[in-house]
Every structure is written in C-alpha cells, then in structure tokens.
Structure 1
Amino acid sequence: MNLATPVELPEKVPSVKHNQHLLLMGSCFAENIGNLLIDHFFHCDINPFGILYNPLSVSEALHEILIGKVYSREDLFYYGGYWHSPMHHGVFSSVSCENTLRMVNERLEQAHSRLGENDWLLLTWGTAFVYENKETGKVVSNCHKQPEKVFIRRRLEVEEVVDKYMVLFTALLRQNPSLKVLFTLSPIRHVRDGMHENQLSKAILLLAIDRLQAIYPNTVYYFPSYEIMLDELRDYRFYADDMLHPSPLAVKYIWERFSETFFLPETKKIMEECESIRKALKHRPFHPGSEEHKRFLGQIVLKIERLNGKYPYLDFEKETELCRTLLNQ
C-alpha cells in the first residue's frame, strides 16, 4: 500500500561531487542542505549575507559578491541600539559600527575570492513578497524590526524576477561559463502573508524558475523540495513544533531524495567511508589515553591518510587535529 504521492525527481542532471565547490544562498532551507553537504565533506560556502528570503535580495547579494563590494558606514543604519545592514541578516548586526562593517566585509571578501571556483550555485527562494524602503526605494533583505511605515510591501511579478536573473546570470556565466545553477523552493509556508497569498507567492517563484530553466536549459536545474514536503511528507509529524518548518526527520528525508538525484555511486561510497571516520571519532572510550585507545586512534589516522591519498580533495583537517589532540592526552 502506497501512503504517499511520489514526486518525480529530475533526470539527466549533472552530478554533485566532492571535488567541486558549491555556493548556497537563500532561506534557512539552504542552510539545512548546506550543513548536510558539509557534514558529508563537500566544499560549501553557505549564505555569506545570512538567511535571505526573496529573489531580489539573493540576486543583489550575488551581484555584490561578484563585484567585490566593500561596505562603508553609509551602507549601514543605526536602530534599536544596533548597527544594521539592510542587505544582511541580523547575525551581522552589532552595537559597534566598526564591528558590523568588519563582519560584513570579511564575509563578502571571502565569498568574492571563492566565487570563480564554484561549480554549483544552489539558490533557495522563500517568498515573492518584498519590502521596499520608502526613503531609498530599495528592496531590503531584512527589516530589522523597524516600523511597518518605513516600508512598502509588494509582491514581485514573474517577469521582474526573470529579468533580474538574466542580467545576473549573464555576468556570472561570463566569469564562469561552466557554472551550474540549482534552484529549490523553500518548503516553509509564510503564513504571515496569509495561506492564499503564500500559495500565490510560491506560484510566482515556481513560474520564474521554470522560465529560467527554459532560457538556460544546460545551466539551470530545479530540485522539488517544496513538492516533496507537500506531497510525500504531508503528515504533520514531518513538521516542527510551529507546524511550518520541516522537522529534522523531514530534512533527512529530503536529503535522501537529493542524494538519489545528484550523487553518483562513487560519491555515495566516499560519503559512507567519511561517515565511518566521523562515527569512530564520536566513540566514547572506557579508558581514554590507554594503549588500546591510542591504537584505535592510530587506525583512524591511517584510514584518513588512505582516504586522503585516494581522494586528495577531501578535507580531514579537523578530524586529524582531533586525533592528534586525543593521542597526546
């Protein structure tokens, strides 16, 4: 008996491999997938601007990464005892203007220096609703709890999103012609917009992605995380306590479907070998520092060296350092 409606996964898509570099930007779902990729030893840069929800903010953030923008005091504003960037998530806000600028510019420079190395750009959009600052006329990424009267709230049009990304992709592909772009739609419903408005918002995003796929058939791809959540995981046991965000079990399930789509058998084998090292390091010995435990750690070091010899692009620096620390206890 089939108790779910299976979602058809995309076929004939390029593979995601350990020797590639990925930049993930967008909603908190981008962070969910990005952290799982990092946990499985993929090279990822996740949300250099913090969590972003709407397509225009993601596009503008990518543009600033591309040109290597350097923020100054004029790009920030002071409100509620903190210095904020309208383009960044609140994790970059600080009581000190200098500290906010330092965090913003360090992270931006890091992303800019890596941009040309990226093989994949994974973008997760959350909502088609944006907030424009009345004074500047610019769409903000985060309102930072300012009064509603400061902003105009509006819903994006499909053409507006597509036009913005055509300009962006032209610039990105000029620098990196082999770049692949993978879109996902955040499975989180934005109930503050109203359930009907949320559906309209998601529909606009889906239509924009579909249009971009048609324009860039060998560059732009789509993974149906939104559809998997709604159709395969429609039971509330797959939701967090707020009944909106995916539960850890749901994220794991969507990750498995992602793995089915983008990972080759060899990639999955590497993941299994890496996971065995991680599990071994989580083992709690009865007698830390004993000769038996040191032999156990020595075997882990040998396994890391063997894997590094076979796959030199894997980064075991943290695991190797942990083994050395434990061996010296």
Structure 2
Amino acid sequence: MSTFSTEVNLKDNSLSILRTDRLLTLGSCFSDHIGGFLKEHKFETLINPLGIIYNPVVLSTILDHLSSDDWSPDEAAMVWHGGLWHSLQHHGQFSAPEKASLIVGLQQAYSVARDFLARTKFLIVTLGSAHAYQWLESGSIVANCHKIPMAKFQKILISAEQIDLRLQASLDRLISANRDIQVVLTVSPVRYIRDGLTENNRSKAQLITAIHSLVERNSFCHYFPAYEIVIDELRDYRFYNRDMVHPSDQAVEYVLNKFVNHHFTHDAKEQIRLIGQFNKSLNHRPLHPEGAEYEEFRKNLKTQIQNLQQKYPDLDFQKEFDSVKSR
C-alpha cells in the first residue's frame, strides 16, 4: 500500500512514561498543548507555571531559579506601562496595578513550581524561537515586551552555541537538584513569520542544532521531533489554522498521539484511552435534555465515572461527578 507522507522516524526508545509519573512543561505555547492534554487525561502535570516563554535564554534563567532557591525581584526588569507593573522577564499574566502584587504573584509561582520540580520525573521543554528582544536600558534579553514601544528594544538572533551553553549550565544545576529527572526537549511547530519564513527557518535551525548537541552530551535528555512531524510528515496546509502558522487541532492531536504511542507505557496509554473516551461522552450536549433518553445517558455517565474511579483509585474524579450532577 502506498504512503502519502514521509514519516518521521522516532529513534529514541529510552523513555518510558508511567501513568503515575509527575510531569512539568515549560516553554512556548505548544508546551501548553502538551500539558493540557496530559492534565485532561489525569496525569499529574504542572503547565508553564511562570507563563509562556518563547526564547531559550529567558527559559534557562527561569530554570536556574527553579533549580535553586535564589529568585528575588529584579527591580531593573520591572517597568510601569499602560497602567500596570510588568516584569520583562515574565509573561503578562503576572502584570498588576501594584508592584507589590506583581512580586507576590511571581514569588508564589516560583514556590509552587520549585516544589513541583523537586519531585518531577519528566520535564518537557518546548523552545519556540531563537529570536529575542534586548531591553536597551540594560542589554538583558526579555521574555515579553508587554506592548512597550519597540524603540526601547533591539531584536537579536541567539546562536546555537549560545543556546547550547546557557541550557547546558541550567541542565547541570537541574540534575544536581533532581538526580532522577528526565528532560524531553522539543521545538514548537508554530512558525513565527513576522519577519518572513527565511528568518523563521534560521531561528528553528539554531534551536534544533543546540538541542541535538545537548542530547548527544546528556543521557537524561531526549529529543521529540514535534516540529519535523508537522513540517515534514503533515506537509499540507489543511493541518494549519486559518492563519497558516499555527497547527490545527487535528495536527496537534496527531503529534500528541505519536508522543504517547512511542514514549508511554501500556498502562499509561490505557488510562489515556479510557479517560479520552469518557471525556468525549461528557462533552456531548443533547438536543433534548429534558427527555428520558438523556436521563439514561446521565446515569451511564455516572456509571462510567464509578468504573474509572474503581480502576484508578489514585485519581480524582470529583469535578466530573459535579459536572454530571449539575446537568
């Protein structure tokens, strides 16, 4: 039978993710997709606790703070703009009308993430872009420009060598803090084309080169080719959203299924399958909710929850019970 795409060969067979493993995702918006999928299927997962981070230098700095207990507010990176205080080193979700509130929010996020990381088995890092912005006042690379006038920044391309050095130092600190951790490195399949496809490809090339260098040196690091799967295996614009830049839901699901099928144990895959089936039923909205047929459907949902709870007594299905009860 003919095949109509070039399949990406998943070479790394050393990962074996259990259903009870704890996972932390950091990086670009694609790490939100990965973490959201895992959380939806009841894996103990913390998703981008410091917000979405696209460039590897800032991500490296955040990882350093999480591997130790040395984070303190960087006053030089806190700016007032548009009626809010912002941290140039963090996502806008932490911005606040008062500087004290900004600092407290960041302190709490670091505390939660640091505690979680100390007991995490798998860290999944998604690098988005090697392009970054430097704050001209200090020369530091920022996580987010927060709609501050671009005249205050300079755009740069971080080289593969710089990325390699920064992330290697962070990984050294990480493995000293958590000897059991395994790190999955991947590149976001989202294309950043504000400056054109050529610049996007230059950026992705730096990321991929740096990651392969890290994986070759560190036995606890692994590469998952999410970028290649979308760009080469799903080589068709029907796998993109209307902006022709972001992968469609179907493409994201395809990538996640490949990740699960290749790196998860049988029991973990079975949990994903069963909870996935239940979630589809739970999300069904009836045409006639007042009918006897729907009442029978609700009873069936309760039975499914009870069966799942019996099979997985370590998982919490209270939210699902409440959802069915409120219908």
Q: Which amino acid aligns with 2:207?
A: L
Count of aligned pairs between the two proteins: 322
RMSD (CA atoms): 2.4
SS at match of 2:80: strand
SS at match of 1:193: coil
Matches within 5 A, 1:34-113: 34-68=35-69, 69-71=71-73, 75-113=77-115
Identity %: 34
Report the alpha carbon displacement of residue 293 of structure 1 after superposing the two structures with TM.
Answer: 6.7
Report the alpha carbon displacement of residue 297 of structure 1 after superposing the two structures with TM.
Answer: 5.4
SS at match of 1:16: coil
SS at match of 1:45: strand
The two structures have a TM-score, normalised by structure 2, of 0.90
Structure 1 CA distance for aligned equivalents of residues 151 and 283 of structure 2: 51
Deviations 1:185-235 (A, max 9, x none): 11111112332222111111111001101110x211111111111111121
Cross-structure match for 1:304 = 308
Residue from 119, 122, 136 that aligns with 1:120: 122
Cross-structure match for 2:186 = 184
Closer, same or farther: CA 201–73 of 1 in aligned 2, 3 Å: closer
Residue from 146, 149, 153 that aligns with 2:151: 149
Deviations 1:215-259 (A, max 9, x none): 10x211111111111111121111111111101111111112112
Gaps of 5+ in 2: none
SS at match of 1:234: coil
| Matched-pair contact (CA < 8 Å) for 2:13–2:263 | no
Cross-structure match for 1:207 = 209
Q: Which amino acid aligns with 1:30?
A: S
SS at match of 1:173: helix
| Matched-pair contact (CA < 8 Å) for 2:90–2:143 | yes
Q: Which amino acid aligns with 2:79?
A: F
Deviations 1:111-148 (A, max 9, x none): 11111111111111111112111222211001112222
SS at match of 1:24: strand
Cross-structure match for 1:26 = 27
Structure 1 CA distance for aligned equivalents of residues 149 and 295 of structure 2: 63
Cross-structure match for 2:17 = 16
Report the alpha carbon displacement of residue 291 of structure 1 after superposing the two structures with TM.
Answer: 8.2
| Matched-pair contact (CA < 8 Å) for 2:84–2:95 | yes
Report the alpha carbon displacement of residue 279 of structure 1 after superposing the two structures with TM.
Answer: 3.8
Q: Which amino acid aligns with 1:224?
A: P
Structure 2 CA distance for aligned equivalents of residues 4 and 298 of structure 1: 42
SS at match of 2:172: helix
Structure 2 CA distance for aligned equivalents of residues 11 and 75 of structure 1: 40
| Matched-pair contact (CA < 8 Å) for 1:123–1:183 | yes
SS at match of 1:252: helix
Cross-structure match for 1:248 = 249
Q: Segments of 4+ in structure 1 off by > 6 A?
A: none
Gaps of 5+ in 1: none
